Structure 1
Amino acid sequence: MEYRFAKDGNFEDFASGRVIYHMGGTPAFPVRLALEIFERCLQHSVKKTGIILYDCCCGGAYMLTVLGFLKNDAISCVYASDIDDKCLKLADDNLSLLTQSGLKRRREEITALYESYGKSSHYDALQSLSRIENLLKNNIKTHVFYHNILEDKDLTFNPDIVITDVPYGLMTEWNASVHPENESTDFINQMMASLSKTCSKDTIICICSDKKQKIKADGFKRLEKQLIGKRKFEIFKIMSFENM
């Protein structure tokens, strides 16, 4: 894959579990790829700053947290939703790092670990945290909430950009329990139908998935499609906004 915007670099400061909180069973996301996707979405967006960013399958909000640090000048507000209460707690902890108070609390936690155990990994984490602190020029407003994106339900906000890494069936799975009578397993297109009813005509939507999941894109205009390893991402905007 050709990276048009995100330069190659050392992103070890953002390793899951170092400064950013980690929980077993919650996948991380390649930092450079997240940056490239955001920049591509931004190119298609009518807004370039003050971006309201949303991830409807946020997990532990690793990707949102990384973008909040690295694109702090462009993002003003982050919304994160999921159906797993443990993931939502982790997401809340991670997104709290996008504030000075959250970083201060994290420094106190890691410092206590270093003073108790003296591990080099804790020392390295403190060095990473110092570098990350320099990235946080502006506190980003964050909102974490329970929401099943397969369920038709209006949101209370209009995102400018949606970026989500949907379940692959490996570490995470879709949950259709909200409509048990529905035998369809075409979850990714159910999600797209839901997003079409909650996003505006200017919202840029990027879906990351494995190659097996096919997006029909009914009612959407596909702006980009890119394969990268076992993963792919597709960028859309709503094509028809009548009767919504």
Structure 2
Amino acid sequence: MAYRYATERRDHSDLASGNVLRSAPGHPGFPVRLADELFQRAAAHLPAAPVSLWDPCCGSGHLATAVGLLHRARLCRLLATDTDPAALSIAERNLALLTLSGLAERESGLRDDAAAFGKPALLERADTAARLAERLRKSGGDLDRTVRAGDAFDPVAPEHRVDLVLTDVPYGGLTAFAGAVPAGEPVPALMRALAAVVPAHAVLAVTARTRKVPLPEGARALERIRVGNRAAALVRASEAAV
């Protein structure tokens, strides 16, 4: 049975980067509404069982953390990798928010800062952390997650089965890839590299700031999406590996 894609519009302001989830210079937050839609669309192409998700270009971890909090009930584990040590440091702190203790610590820190600096806005953010903790508690509690260094162009096979690769790649001139970047078109090469280390049934959901996400030669998209200045393509791993 496939996961049914829901079209209802939800308020995602609690998950905005810089609210409870931490932001980092050079690593802007991902649009949460688009993250929600991409996950639901991708999950609709997978069996209705708990999904293991991997973000191989995780940056600050905002995308992975937002999806984890939105869809904890559908997820069994989450892996986030990147080549940038500074970004991984922020990602570790963000993905810690996928635990009740991490959210409690974040709420407590915001309340302490509100008292120390006399900023009522921090109390509002603390209340947001409390709401996110209640959401996490109701949807399954702590999510098994791993954050580690990893090169998406030369990936190490994940420790556990991966059903969904969901990532926002640095493409279109605003940011740059790092690691073992091959010559030529980088995104199709990235998809081929990732498809080689995940099961054939897995879905790759890749988004970038471009008009159209390029695919490996011969590959067919399950779906294509365009929202604002971002485009996304959903591809079965067996197609991307051709």
Instruction: Report the TM-score when normalising by structure 1.
Output: 0.88
Mind listing any 5+ residue stretches in structure 1 that lack a counterpart? Answer: none
Equivalent runs, 1:1-244 vs 2, <5 Å: 5-46=6-47, 48-137=48-137, 138-151=141-154, 153-168=156-171, 172-176=175-179, 178=180, 184-211=183-210, 214-218=213-217, 220-239=219-238
Partner SS for 2:72: coil
Measured in 2, the distance between the counterparts of 1:79 and 1:154 equals: 11
Partner SS for 2:221: strand
- What whole-Å deviation, never above 9, does each CA across 1:45-96 have from its counterpart, x for those lacking one? 12x2321111010001101111111111111100000010011011110000
Letter in 2 for 1:231: R
Mind listing any 5+ residue stretches in structure 2 that lack a counterpart? Answer: none
4+ residue stretches of structure 1 with deviation over 6 A? none
Deviates more, 1:56-65 or 1:148-157: 148-157
| Contact persistence 1:56–1:164 (CA under 8 A) | yes
Deviates more, 1:48-57 or 1:140-149: 48-57
| Contact persistence 1:27–1:171 (CA under 8 A) | no
| Contact persistence 1:20–1:94 (CA under 8 A) | yes
Give the CA deviation at 1:202. 1.0
Equivalences, count: 235
Deviates more, 1:132-141 or 1:161-170: 161-170
CA change 1:214–1:125 in 2 (3 A) is: closer
| Contact persistence 2:55–2:166 (CA under 8 A) | yes
Letter in 2 for 1:175: A
- What whole-Å deviation, never above 9, does each CA across 1:140-190 have from its counterpart, x for those lacking one? 0110111111125433332111110000355531124x36xx5x1411122
Give the CA deviation at 1:19. 0.9
Letter in 2 for 1:77: R
CA change 1:155–1:10 in 2 (3 A) is: closer
Measured in 2, the distance between the counterparts of 1:6 and 1:112 equals: 39
| Contact persistence 1:219–1:238 (CA under 8 A) | no
Measured in 1, the distance between the counterparts of 2:118 and 2:211 equals: 46
Task: From the two aligned structures, give the one with the greater helix fraction.
Answer: 2
Instruction: Report the TM-score when normalising by structure 2.
Output: 0.89
- What whole-Å deviation, never above 9, does each CA across 1:194-244 have from its counterpart, x for those lacking one? 0121111110110101225652334644100122222111001033699x9
Partner SS for 1:236: strand
> Relative contact order, CA 8 A, sep 6+: which one is greater?
1
